[in-house]
Amino acid sequence: MEFRQIDEMALIKEEDSSDRRKFLSLLNANYQSGLLQEQEFLEYQTEVASILTDLIRLYTSGDSSSVKEETAAQILSSIYYALDAYTARMDGSSELLHVLRENGVHQIYNEGVKMIRTCLDETKKKFKRIAENKLNIPLMPYNDMLDSAIPEYLSAYDVEFNAQDTSCSMDYPLIFDNMSIRGIFYIRQYLEILQIETEFCRLLNQSEVLRTLYRYGVKFDMDIINVPVNLFEILFDQLVFTVLSGNEKMDLAITPLQCQQMADNLSRMDRPKIEERIHASVNKIVTAFRIESPGLLTYLHRYRQQFAGRVVSANGHGNIMNIVLVEGENVHANKNIFTDGDRMNNLRFSRITELVAECDRTEEKIKLISDNVHSAKDFIDLLEADCLYGDEFRALYDSLGDTELAVLGRVIFSDELHQSRLHFTPSLFDRYERSSETDWKKYFVNFLLSIKEMRRSHIEQSINNLVIQDDILY
């Protein structure tokens, strides 16, 4: 639809509802506190409208009456992106008020545009360095991201009219990826993280990396070349398991005997002891590979904590073997065997349920469950015990590994699995979301819809390939 008379102020009021606008948030904070008078508030909004009018004229080469509504909204978002860029460096609303009264909105916008241009130049240089030193690995999402997705984005990036845009077809996932950032600042952050992950991956022998990727694809029954998997995660996990299994060469190879001995050792440890052993293993890796980069060191230990949680969870269910790549593993045995952990007696289960229900903090609830519930039967009984509410389900599912999520998935989608292989589709999710009678199942479906497609695909495969011993959940 085309605008004949563009109502800039109406567009601005629509933008006021966005919680991602730092400029508007601080402006409104000043207004609500009484530091900013209504007349000033309106004047600053009028300045934004003036910038919008100027940019629309520039966009249409002077014919502002022919711009579409969605185009005008896009340009306005670009304006706020620049305003937010400059405002983000401020300490708070009082500093914004001072700068506004001294220089006005136009000056803040111009400085923000300068910052965006600088970021674009820096990002192009960073990308050039990364592309020149790309890893030689047969992962299509990785290669496509460096060969086409990011180059196309950078060449088409529009500072004035669409600075907030993050429409880049990058399918290669990172371990830590802040999706709340938009535009060129997101791409810069993505490349910074990619550079750190690449630095780690380069430490390992090329042939060992390729062999590990092959084993990973076979174990989890996936097309490793085309599926978006994170190389850093695969290599870090296997390298730590290599150290835990006693392989001093750190060549990513673990024999069945080493894996069984490691699993036996871990089964006798509690959570703090496992975390301590993993911490020591990472320190051993840091020393062996002479890692000194502050960025990489911070990244390794940040991910170590996430990795430790998965190991503790798998250990609690006796399923360590399912997350380790083992030499000589039967390449045709694509099924993962899930063995349930020990159940609590009724008295202890009731007590744990009461403690979880009485707890006010979500983090403490999850810790109580993680430390005490080691049986899938107990876990599901607890989910149905009315001691978790709303977002607490999401937080709990976030704390689980893919194997544990697959067990829950086999329970929820059991009817589908009795008929054929499970395939996640929008209609399937919609049907189960509407028909599920218990909250935990509805929130589980919502959780699957909220996670990245790569992980959702992996969970789907895990559900199909999981064998639950003796049908323990039914």
Q: Mean pLDDT of successive 10-residue segments in the chain (474 residues)?
A: 43 42 72 71 83 90 76 92 87 71 86 95 97 92 94 94 88 87 94 97 92 86 84 96 91 91 93 96 96 96 93 86 81 51 85 91 90 86 90 90 86 76 82 83 91 81 70 49
Which pLDDT belongs to residue 10?
45
Alpha carbon 385 to chain centroid, angstroms: 30
Q: Which two tokens stand for residue 359?
A: 């707890």
| Side chain identity, residue 285 | I
Specify the pTM: 0.69
- Tokens of residue 262, six digits: 């490691």
Give dist(CA 383, CA 152) in Å, integer. 46
Q: Which residues sit opposite 338 in a β-bridge?
A: 468
What SS3 state is found at 340?
Answer: coil
Cα angle for residues 191, 194, 200 (degrees, 5° grid): 145
Instruction: Give the pLDDT of residue 428.
Output: 84
pLDDT of residue 19: 36
CA atoms of 385 and 408, how far apart (whole Å): 16
Residue 128: predicted pLDDT: 97
User: Which single residue is written with the structure tokens 């430490």?
Assistant: 203
Q: Which residue has the tokens 């007590």?
A: 351
State the Cα–Cα distance between residues 307 and 317, nearest whole angstrom: 16
Q: Cα Rg for the chain, rounded, in angstroms?
A: 26
pLDDT at residue 420, rounded to an integer: 64
User: Is the distance from CB of 416 to CB of 428 less than 8 angstroms?
Assistant: yes
3 state SS of 304: helix
How far apart are the C-alpha atoms of 130 and 116, rounded to whole Å?
21
pLDDT value at residue 186: 94
Asked whether the beta carbons of 84 and 22 are under 8 A apart, the reply is yes
